[in-house]
Amino acid sequence: MVFTTYEFVLFLACVTALYYTAFKRAQWQFLLAASVAFYAYSGWRNLLFIAVTVVTTFIAARCMARLQGKRERRPWLIAALTVNIGILLTLKFTRLAFPLGLSFFTLQTMSYLIDAYRAKDGDAVERNPFKLALFTSFFPQLLQGPMSRYGTLKRELFEPHAFSGANVSAGLERIALGYFKKLVIADRVMPVIGGLSYPVAAAVYAVALYCDFTGGIDVAIGVAKLLGITLTENFDSPYYSRNIQEFWRRWHMTMGAWFRDYVFSPLSTSLPSIRLAAPCKRAFGDRIGRRVPIWLTIMVTWFATGLWHGADAHFIVWGLANGAVIIVSQELTNSSRDFARKFPRLTASKVFDAFRIVRTFCLMSLIRSLDWTIMRESSAALGTSDWLCAGLATLFVVFYSRLRQKRSSPEFNLAFACVMVVLIAVFGAYGQGYSVSQFIYTRF
């Protein structure tokens, strides 16, 4: 079951009603049953993968909790990670049927395992396997995030939640916004991107991908809010970023934080990385030599990020391209500061600020275009009215995103949810001649 189906809308209505009525004293248990049913809808075979992940993670974490030192815990960590990463990589490289959400819940349980390995207190490890199962399979975030940490999400999942009109209106508003981005903008322009000239296609794809991905996250956060559960935000207006480093702090923030905390940080502070600095200094000089280990760590981290997205070569190239641009950006930081000192009025102006934003957008659009599986697809060109509709809808999203930060109340949220539902009904890309696709990131 995916978010872009009538079955999901019916499923969500039933779950929300039962959650606050018949099962108000067993809410998390009911959510676990609902999450299993949600995932089983895509195929009972898929439950095997999530069950293996939960069982191996639970056993390894409980065994590590009984041990004191990291040396004693390490075999359990390695064994559990080998099983779960092995399943993920095997399915990615062999092109077998890929269970929905596998990449996301694998990383989420890996963070739980690594935190259990690092924990000084064994009580931080969950004792109830069914609670761990809900953390792994919670249906709003199962397919495309946002990725959560157990320490952050457990209170939200397992504390009782009373019905709240404010939560329901906020949830409905967020869901409507997500579907608006998906059905009015992304699904309208995505099928014709391959027929556009390259620079235009790259820019349109960047906007469409943003609407598709953030739309899915909006729906996930909104669904959780209906149930009184607050999920971590995943985007912070990334296309207002002034450089690529800032962009990746604002785009898919939970994924970026995961790779920073569980790949980059351990590698950059590891003994091999520290030891590598000395021979690099001898070979390249002090200035460059001390930077080489950091550069290698950045490239390894982004290689892993690309591989997580997929085993195809273009995902690897996309990851390495991001790493290379980040390295160049870091090395030019001092030059940028020198430029700002020489031309303070220019660099403080809104025009220069806008230039940096546009420059970053163009650079990221170019890197995004490496997803050639989308860029090479072509279709009949859109009519003028469709382009006008997509453009005005994009401006509406920009305006509304700023407005909702300043004004937010149950009445405001409910009113705009109704407005967006009407706009989707009138301008959405659906019905005869259209095939509403699932959100892009569910394929990972």
Residue 131 belongs to some domain of the structure:
yes
Q: How much is the pLDDT for 41?
A: 86
Identity at 114, one-letter amino acid code: I
Structure tokens at 368: 């995004």
Are 309 and 356 in a shared domain?
Answer: yes
Q: Are residues 153 and 173 in the same domain?
A: no
Confidence (pLDDT) at 432: 47
pLDDT of residue 373: 57
Same domain, 252 and 159: no
Q: Are residues 145 and 186 in the same domain?
A: no
- Residues 159, 264 within the same domain: no
Residue 428 in domain: yes
> For 401, how many CA atoms within 13 A lie in the half-sphere containing its CB?
19
Same domain, 402 and 263: yes
Distance between CA 376 and CA 201 in Å, rounded? 10
Judge whether 27 and 17 are in contact, CB under 8 Å.
Answer: no
Radius of gyration of the chain (CA): 23
Give a yes or no: residue 376 inside a domain.
yes
Same domain, 129 and 172: no
* DSSP track, 217-237: HHHHHHHHHHTT-PPPP--S-
Q: Could you please report the per-residue DSSP string of 29-49?
A: HHHHHHHHHHHHTT-HHHHHH
In the structure encoding, which two tokens stand for residue 68, read together?
Answer: 């004191």
Q: How many domains does the chain have?
A: 2
Q: Write a three-state SS string for 262-316.
A: HHHHHHHCCHHHHHHHHHHHHHHCHHHHCCHHHHHHHHHHHHHHHHHHCCCHHHH
Give the number of other Cβ atoms within 10 Å of residue 204's Cβ: 18
Q: How far is CA 378 from CA 19, 170, 189, 360, 436, in A?
A: 44, 38, 11, 27, 17
Q: The tokens of 86 are what?
A: 């092995």
- Domain annotation covers residue 1: no
Regarding whether 170 and 159 lie in a shared domain, the answer is no
3-state DSSP call for residue 2? coil
pLDDT (tens, 9 = 90+) of the chain, 444 residues, equals 788 888 999 999 999 999 999 898 999 999 999 999 998 887 788 888 899 999 999 999 999 998 888 889 999 999 999 999 998 888 877 766 777 788 889 999 999 999 999 887 656 788 999 999 999 999 999 888 899 999 889 999 999 999 999 999 999 999 999 999 999 998 888 888 877 888 888 899 999 999 999 999 999 999 999 999 999 999 999 999 999 999 999 999 999 999 999 999 999 988 888 888 888 888 888 888 888 999 999 999 999 999 888 878 888 999 999 999 999 998 888 888 899 899 988 888 999 999 999 999 999 998 888 765 555 555 557 788 889 999 999 999 988 888 777 767 888 888 888 998 998 888 887 654 455 566 666 665
Last residue of a domain, one of 114, 140, 163: 163
Q: Give pLDDT, residue 123.
A: 61
Give the per-residue pLDDT at 107: 92
Domain-ending residue, one of 99, 131, 163: 163
Same domain, 275 and 153: no
146 and 185 within one domain: no
Query: What are the distances in angstroms from CA 57 to CA 61, 82, 104, 129?
Result: 6, 11, 15, 9
Domain that holds residue 330: 166-443
CB 224 within 8 A of CB 210: no
pTM of the model: 0.90
Do 195 and 155 share a domain, yes or no?
Answer: no
CA–CA separation, 18 vs 16, rounded Å?
6
Q: Do 159 and 294 reside in the same domain of the chain?
A: no
Of 163, 196, 217, which residue constitutes the final position of a domain? 163
430: helix, coil or strand? coil
Q: What is the pLDDT of residue 239?
A: 93
